[in-house]
Amino acid sequence: MSNTRSHTSPQADLKKSTVKLFLAVAAWVGSTALMSFGPSAFWDFDTAITFLAIVANLILGVLMLYSFFRHLKNMDELQRQTHLEAMALTLGITMVLTVIYGALPQAKVVASAQPANVLFVIGMSYILSVITLWLRRTRE
Protein backbone atom coordinates (compact mmCIF):
# COMPACT_ATOMS: atom_id res chain seq x y z
CA MET A 1 0.00 0.00 0.00
CA SER A 2 1.50 3.35 -0.97
CA ASN A 3 1.59 6.38 1.26
CA THR A 4 -0.39 9.14 -0.49
CA ARG A 5 0.18 11.70 2.24
CA SER A 6 2.45 14.50 1.08
CA HIS A 7 5.52 15.22 3.18
CA THR A 8 5.75 18.79 4.37
CA SER A 9 8.03 20.53 6.83
CA PRO A 10 7.19 20.53 10.54
CA GLN A 11 6.88 24.33 10.42
CA ALA A 12 4.36 24.12 7.58
CA ASP A 13 2.37 21.47 9.44
CA LEU A 14 2.35 23.61 12.59
CA LYS A 15 1.26 26.67 10.62
CA LYS A 16 -1.57 24.69 8.99
CA SER A 17 -2.74 23.28 12.33
CA THR A 18 -2.61 26.78 13.84
CA VAL A 19 -4.97 28.08 11.17
CA LYS A 20 -7.30 25.11 11.63
CA LEU A 21 -7.27 25.61 15.40
CA PHE A 22 -8.02 29.32 15.01
CA LEU A 23 -10.98 28.56 12.74
CA ALA A 24 -12.28 25.88 15.12
CA VAL A 25 -12.02 28.23 18.12
CA ALA A 26 -13.72 31.04 16.17
CA ALA A 27 -16.56 28.71 15.16
CA TRP A 28 -17.00 27.53 18.74
CA VAL A 29 -16.96 31.09 20.13
CA GLY A 30 -19.52 32.13 17.50
CA SER A 31 -21.75 29.18 18.33
CA THR A 32 -21.41 29.99 22.05
CA ALA A 33 -22.58 33.54 21.39
CA LEU A 34 -25.46 32.26 19.27
CA MET A 35 -26.43 29.71 21.93
CA SER A 36 -26.31 32.39 24.64
CA PHE A 37 -27.95 35.34 22.89
CA GLY A 38 -29.93 33.66 20.09
CA PRO A 39 -32.95 32.62 22.14
CA SER A 40 -33.76 36.19 23.16
CA ALA A 41 -32.43 38.01 20.08
CA PHE A 42 -33.34 35.77 17.14
CA TRP A 43 -35.82 32.98 17.84
CA ASP A 44 -37.98 34.11 20.76
CA PHE A 45 -36.94 31.26 23.09
CA ASP A 46 -38.12 28.49 20.75
CA THR A 47 -37.04 25.33 22.60
CA ALA A 48 -36.29 23.26 19.49
CA ILE A 49 -34.03 25.92 17.97
CA THR A 50 -32.31 26.47 21.32
CA PHE A 51 -31.70 22.73 21.59
CA LEU A 52 -30.17 22.73 18.07
CA ALA A 53 -27.92 25.65 19.04
CA ILE A 54 -26.76 23.71 22.12
CA VAL A 55 -26.05 20.59 20.04
CA ALA A 56 -24.17 22.67 17.45
CA ASN A 57 -22.12 24.25 20.25
CA LEU A 58 -21.30 20.81 21.66
CA ILE A 59 -20.25 19.46 18.25
CA LEU A 60 -18.11 22.52 17.51
CA GLY A 61 -16.59 22.26 21.00
CA VAL A 62 -15.56 18.66 20.31
CA LEU A 63 -14.12 19.70 16.92
CA MET A 64 -12.19 22.49 18.64
CA LEU A 65 -10.71 20.01 21.14
CA TYR A 66 -9.78 17.67 18.30
CA SER A 67 -8.10 20.57 16.48
CA PHE A 68 -6.18 21.46 19.62
CA PHE A 69 -4.88 17.90 20.06
CA ARG A 70 -3.86 17.79 16.39
CA HIS A 71 -2.10 21.11 16.92
CA LEU A 72 -0.22 19.71 19.95
CA LYS A 73 0.97 16.78 17.83
CA ASN A 74 2.50 19.21 15.33
CA MET A 75 4.51 21.04 17.99
CA ASP A 76 8.12 20.23 18.74
CA GLU A 77 9.08 18.77 22.11
CA LEU A 78 9.77 22.15 23.79
CA GLN A 79 6.53 23.73 22.54
CA ARG A 80 4.50 20.69 23.59
CA GLN A 81 6.10 20.58 27.06
CA THR A 82 5.46 24.30 27.52
CA HIS A 83 1.79 23.99 26.61
CA LEU A 84 1.23 20.90 28.73
CA GLU A 85 2.77 22.58 31.77
CA ALA A 86 0.74 25.73 31.09
CA MET A 87 -2.42 23.57 31.02
CA ALA A 88 -1.47 22.00 34.36
CA LEU A 89 -0.90 25.43 35.90
CA THR A 90 -4.17 26.68 34.43
CA LEU A 91 -6.07 23.74 35.92
CA GLY A 92 -4.59 24.38 39.37
CA ILE A 93 -5.15 28.14 39.27
CA THR A 94 -8.71 27.66 38.01
CA MET A 95 -9.53 25.13 40.74
CA VAL A 96 -8.24 27.35 43.54
CA LEU A 97 -9.83 30.57 42.28
CA THR A 98 -13.13 28.89 41.35
CA VAL A 99 -13.55 27.54 44.89
CA ILE A 100 -12.87 31.02 46.32
CA TYR A 101 -15.14 32.68 43.74
CA GLY A 102 -17.93 30.19 44.40
CA ALA A 103 -17.77 30.90 48.15
CA LEU A 104 -18.06 34.70 47.77
CA PRO A 105 -21.91 34.80 47.54
CA GLN A 106 -22.27 32.63 50.66
CA ALA A 107 -19.87 34.93 52.50
CA LYS A 108 -22.00 37.87 51.27
CA VAL A 109 -18.98 39.46 49.57
CA VAL A 110 -20.79 39.56 46.20
CA ALA A 111 -24.48 39.13 45.38
CA SER A 112 -23.94 36.28 42.91
CA ALA A 113 -21.12 34.49 41.11
CA GLN A 114 -21.43 34.09 37.36
CA PRO A 115 -19.84 30.85 36.07
CA ALA A 116 -18.87 32.53 32.78
CA ASN A 117 -16.43 34.74 34.71
CA VAL A 118 -14.30 31.65 35.32
CA LEU A 119 -13.57 31.57 31.56
CA PHE A 120 -11.64 34.82 31.97
CA VAL A 121 -9.50 33.22 34.68
CA ILE A 122 -8.87 30.17 32.50
CA GLY A 123 -7.93 32.23 29.45
CA MET A 124 -5.64 34.63 31.25
CA SER A 125 -3.98 31.84 33.28
CA TYR A 126 -3.23 29.84 30.16
CA ILE A 127 -1.93 32.76 28.12
CA LEU A 128 0.27 34.08 30.93
CA SER A 129 1.54 30.58 31.75
CA VAL A 130 2.53 29.88 28.14
CA ILE A 131 4.29 33.23 27.80
CA THR A 132 6.11 32.92 31.14
CA LEU A 133 7.20 29.31 30.60
CA TRP A 134 8.27 29.97 27.01
CA LEU A 135 10.34 33.03 27.93
CA ARG A 136 11.96 31.16 30.82
CA ARG A 137 12.83 28.19 28.61
CA THR A 138 14.15 30.14 25.65
CA ARG A 139 16.43 32.22 27.86
CA GLU A 140 18.17 29.12 29.26
Give pLDDT tens digits for 26-38.
999 999 999 999 9
63 and 87 in a single domain? The answer is no
114 and 133 in a single domain? The answer is yes
80 and 139 in a single domain? The answer is yes
Please report whether residue 59 resides in a domain.
yes
d(CA 96, CA 99): 5
* Structure confidence by residue, pLDDT tens digits, 30-82: 999 999 999 999 999 999 999 999 999 999 999 999 999 999 999 999 999 99
What pLDDT was estimated at residue 6? 59
Instruction: Identify the weakest region by mean pLDDT among 33-42, 80-89, 114-123.
Output: 114-123
Q: The domain containing residue 40 runs over which residues? A: 10-75
Burial of 115 (0-12, 13-18, 19+ CB in 10 A): exposed
Q: How many domains does the chain have?
A: 2
Please report whether residue 48 resides in a domain.
yes
Q: What is the pTM of this model?
A: 0.79
Q: What is the mean pLDDT of the chain?
A: 93
Please report whether residue 4 resides in a domain.
no
